[in-house]
Amino acid sequence: MQPGDILSYIELCSEEQFNIQKGMNFRTQNGYSIFLMSVRPNAPYADRVEDNGKTLIYEGHDCPNYKNLNKSPKEIDQPEFMPNGRTLTENGKFLQAVKNYKAGQPAEIVKIYEKIKPGIWAYNGFFKLVDAWQEESNGRKVFKFKLVMFNEKSNDLTNQTLDHNRLIPAQVKQEVWKRDKGACVQCGSRVNLHFDHIIPFSKGGSSNTAKNIQLLCAKCNLSKHDKIM
């Protein structure tokens, strides 16, 4: 799997070998953590891409919607602890991982998937969790987690992997998916799709505009790269 690959929810669960039910999953059975980036309808994107597609700022998660709560979770500071005041929430676990990292331990590795639409996900790659903080958002405090793209194959930076090391912002992915109608622009296939840079990043192509991104299936992607190289 390469960053930019598109998969169904079932493929995602089969890849991770469990049913992923929540957005933040600290240290799964696979030895790494998993974040799902979900875009809330009619809301500004809280997750941001920075540093030319190499850094991601991920927003923490709200307090669960407890029945005895007389406020919406959106009006309450995102919690570090469960209501018992001792057990860490997922926000708290990742915050602790950052503290450990700053104290000299290895960074937590986080695999990230991003929702394109219900049942359709894009794989964004592996990241290192390097920082966390709280900031004000609409009158309450939210957690922010800073993740830096991390390529296991960084010793082998071909043009193709360099392209895949550049994150395409959520807005651009949404726009491309709609424009290309969820199908390969060359053959119309709806399986094994990938967000492809029309002009490769390494040749000056941008990740930040839908004009330079298209949907290609694995087959057409392969034949395109054969032509370029």
Q: Give the binding site for Zn ion (CB under 5 A).
A: 184, 186-187, 189, 217, 220
CB burial of residue 16 (10 Å; 0-12, 13-18, 19+)? middle
Alpha-carbon distance of 91 to 28, in angstroms, equals 15
Nearer to Zn ion, 132 or 176 (CB): 176
Spell 154-182 as b/e; 16+ CB within 10 A means b. eeeeeebbbbbbbbbbbebbbebbeebee
Note whether 110 and 32 are within 8 A (CB). Answer: yes
Alpha-carbon distance of 183 to 173, in angstroms, equals 13
Nearer to Zn ion, 147 or 216 (CB): 216
Shortest Å, Cβ 83 to Zn ion: 51
Report CA-CA distances (Å) from 36 to 24, 113, 137, 153, 162: 7, 5, 21, 23, 23
Nearer to Zn ion, 95 or 184 (CB): 184
- 3-class secondary-structure state, position 59: strand
In the beta sheet, which residues pair with residue 36? 113
| Stretch (H or E) spanning 127 | strand 120-137
Nearer to Zn ion, 151 or 189 (CB): 189
Nearer to Zn ion, 24 or 122 (CB): 122
Nearer to Zn ion, 102 or 190 (CB): 190
Shortest Å, Cβ 184 to Zn ion: 3
Shortest Å, Cβ 213 to Zn ion: 15
Shortest Å, Cβ 167 to Zn ion: 23
In the beta sheet, which residues pair with residue 114? 37, 122
Contacts of 83 (CB under 8 A, 6+ apart): 66
